[in-house]
Every structure is written in C-alpha cells, then in structure tokens.
Structure 1
C-alpha cells in the first residue's frame, strides 16, 4: 500500500492521517542529576512562527519571562523535505548556532537521525546538538523545571490542584482539535475525512459549551490548556477552515470560542507571538499536495482579532495573582504589517 508523508505524519492510501509522535524525549531538569541541567544561557529554543506546536513554546516562554534564560532562534515559514531553514537571518544562518538548517542540530545529536526534523527544538549551544523536540513535555518543563528563572509575577500555567482535570482536557484538545484539523486536511479517503470532520466538530461543540460559562478552559485564569488550544484557533479561519476542509463553521461564527480566542489574542504573550502571513505562507506553500498552485490567499481580514470580546463579563483574572509580561524583546517583535490587519505575505 502506498504511503505519503504530510506534515509531521503520514497517510496510507485510503486511510487516516497518522501523526509521527516519536520524538527525542530527553528533558532539561533542575534535579541536579540530569544530563541536561537547567542552566541560563546554555540552551536555544528553535521555533518557526508558522508552526502551532512551536508557537506554544514561544508563548509559554514569554508568559513565564524566560527570554533572558533561553534564547530563541526563528526559522522561516517554509521548508523542504530536508529541514526547516534559518532563511530569515542574515546570510541564512542562525547567529548563535551558525547553522543554515535545523537538520544540522539533529545530525549533531545523531549523524543518522532517521525521523522528521521538527520545531520546536531545544538545542544545547555548547555542542550544537538537539536535546529534545518533544513539544508536549517541553512547555510543561518550562513551567516546572525553570522556576528559578521565571520573571516576577509569572503565572502558574500548570497548577498542581488542576493537573488531573487539565491533563484530560489537554489530551482531548490534542487528539480531537490540534491534531483533528490535520486528520481532516490529510485524510486519505472520503470515509476517513468524514469521520475526522465529525470528531473535530464534536470536540469544537464541547469547547463552545464549556467556554460559554467560564472565561478560560480551567476557570478563572490562563493555563497551559489555553495555550494549547489558542494556536489552533489562531490558524482556524486563515488555514484550517478552507485548506484543511474543516468548514462546518468559521471561528468567527462560534460566539464563545471566538470571544475566547480574541480575549487571549489581546493578552500579552499571545497575539504578539502570532504572525499571520508566515502562518499562511507555510501551509499554502509547503502543502503542495493539497494546494498544488501554492497560491497564498489574501484573506481573511485579521483586523477583527482586535475587536472587543466582552469576556470580562465572565469574571476571572487572566494572570491570577501574577502580572502580564512586558513587551517582546528586541529581535522578537512581530512586524506591524504581519499583525492584525497587516498586508503582504512576507
């Protein structure tokens, strides 16, 4: 049976999309016995703003104030079969690692690394070798292992008393929504697509109901669960609705989810890490099997992300007893033309 690779997964002809979840699962920890100890300045987080999984890591890093402890390299929005590339940097090289391709960090770890080259990735700067690309654990470790370097007023994104319920919510969001849109977009048959579509919208209806009575997924404050849902919602109307055929409704037609998404977008750390032109360029150019012409659509109008959301009526305090992060640091600011209402694909 023929198999094609799509995104970070594969599709067997006529079957469901399967995400490759075999990551490098090493962890950077503060226990003193780790091969990879928490150490300010030692590691570089490599992301691409186009990627929803990498966007999560950028948001959590911002919310916790880890910018000075963990530097960040940013790949361009498109890549070839080999790797993400640092084509946004002068001379096409990451200024810290000296690499042209993220692939070089994976090969520094294992010269015969056999799997996909994915973002986000944490790279050990002294050796130039990737430590982990396990995006699910990475952000949890930012919250739990890097506490010595959190900013004053950093929120608790993974509170102990909510973890049991939050883990269930996070898992359902991942399987049914974060990955659910990919199952729609890369379905190998009409049957597989129909099933994926029904699963996605069952979950979206559940989220719409849940968020109609609470400001955030776990209640009154922002948590890791909100970060994980937001990056899919930010891409929903620009990409997933049309490109992935997840088109029962637009996000803007779902009152609770749309208000919630705008509430987060207008919160420091969320909208200021979201680059709409790079998001669209990635999906419409890289996924040539879905979009053979590689034409990038002009719409939708992203200025609507700045309209009033009214979610304050539900109460809550986004940062709990903490405070919002300050402005993005130099070199990490989204250009105004790439923000809400901006023009141009690049």
Structure 2
C-alpha cells in the first residue's frame, strides 16, 4: 500500500481556509478516502448516526505527481482526527510559498512502543532544512471495509427529486439560532413551488419561518392561485396532500451543526428531502472564481437523519 504526492498551492489553501475548519465543526473524526481520481473526506457514512457529510475533490486540484497503489483497486481509506489534520495542513500552508510539501503514508515506531503505527506525513523541504509533521491515522480499512465505504458513498449520491436554493446561509444561521431556543426538534417542509418552511412546536408555542418562491432544481410545479391567501401551515399541508411537498422532522442540534458548512464558503446551497422522507439533504455549490460556472473539481453535501416524517 503506497500513497505519495505533492500538495498544490490551491489545494492547501482550499483545505486550510475553508474545508477543514468546516469539517472539524461537523465531527472530530472522519474518514479520508483516497482513490486514483478523487480524495474524499467523509463523516458518519458507515455509522449512520449524526450528520453525514461528503466533501470530494479531484486529485488534479489537490495534488501533483500522485502515486497511489493498494490491493483494493488502488483505493485507501482510514480514520483521522480532523483537527490534527487541519493543524498539519495549516502549518504546511505557512511555509509552502518557500518550499514544496510532500504528503505520504508511512509506518513509524511511536515512542515507547514496540509496534510500528501508520501516519499521514507532511514533509516540507527547503534549501537548508526539512520539517516533518506526522498525523496519526487508524489502521487502513480492509478490502471489505473499503467496499462498504464505497457502497455507502454511492448510495449517498442519490439526489432528492426537488431542491430549493436557500437564502443566504448566514441569514439561515441567525434564524436557526433563534429557533433552537424554542425547542429541540425542527419540522422542515419543501414544496415543488419553491417554498421552504421551518417550524418549531412545543406544548405552549409554535414558531416558524417561511421562504417563498425560491429557485427550484428538479421536479417543479406552479403554486395554485387559490392558495395565495392561506396561512403557511395550511398551504404546506395542502401541498403535501397533493404530493407536491415533503415534510420531515430533524434534530435542531443536527441542523445547527450542518450549518457549519458555511465555513467552506460555498457560493450557494440547495435543500431537498429524499423520497419517502429518508433524509434532509443539503448540497453546496462552488463556482470557478470570477464566474458563475460550477467548479466540478469540488463537491460537498450533507445529509441529516430524520426523526419523523410528516408526509
């Protein structure tokens, strides 16, 4: 099993300033999954608990002179502490302008141990010195475990039939900060008309907010003219009855954690509910700098487990 590459300037900047700060907030431990073509950072895909997040990058964007081989069709996966990984990348970013950074998998003998342990090593070579940072990792996953991870990754790529573009993520963050003081459970409804409805209910109070006429991707429908003067809960209930909306209940804690994805600075975000209310999906879109063209070298999305379906 071998992995060795040099980090690119753009790759280090993206990981250090945007993605790793975000992913560390979602969960401390994550899977790092390396293939010939992509590098993927995953949270909770195998456990099924908590917020699932998938950040995927084309290797051409992150690395140059990549060499990877394994008995799992040149695929390697392991667990790593996101905070320690971020510190290593941040330190590398500080010196990259003056030297190259090589990243590789190694085995070393920890102090006081008689058995070698695996590390992801960052080696910075200058003209007169070299700095080595060792990031501890788990034992690489077996062939069967890598297969399970790939199956879970493939299953997580299924998109909801209807996606709505949410407003500014900072605005949504402020709303969720207010709603979480009311209750622990949030009802989310999304219609094919482009409406996003958020509501918290307790035995004493119901508080909600609605965003209407949002951009819709996928299955779209025109809102009935007779619904315009109805209340938001009534319109949502009628849309669900027509099969033109889905509603689910999620943990407020999970939603607040998923909103940490805004630290990755996406250009826009879309929310959708999987068929039969299987999960709440959040897809983050990135543009090529200076354009409105989607950067296909980066993909990032989250899935929130559903506590109850309001379908």
Fold similarity call, TM over 0.5: no
State the TM-score, normalizing by the size of structure 2. 0.23
The structure in which a higher percent of residues are helix is 1
User: Which structure: larger Rg?
Assistant: 2
State the TM-score, normalizing by the size of structure 1. 0.22
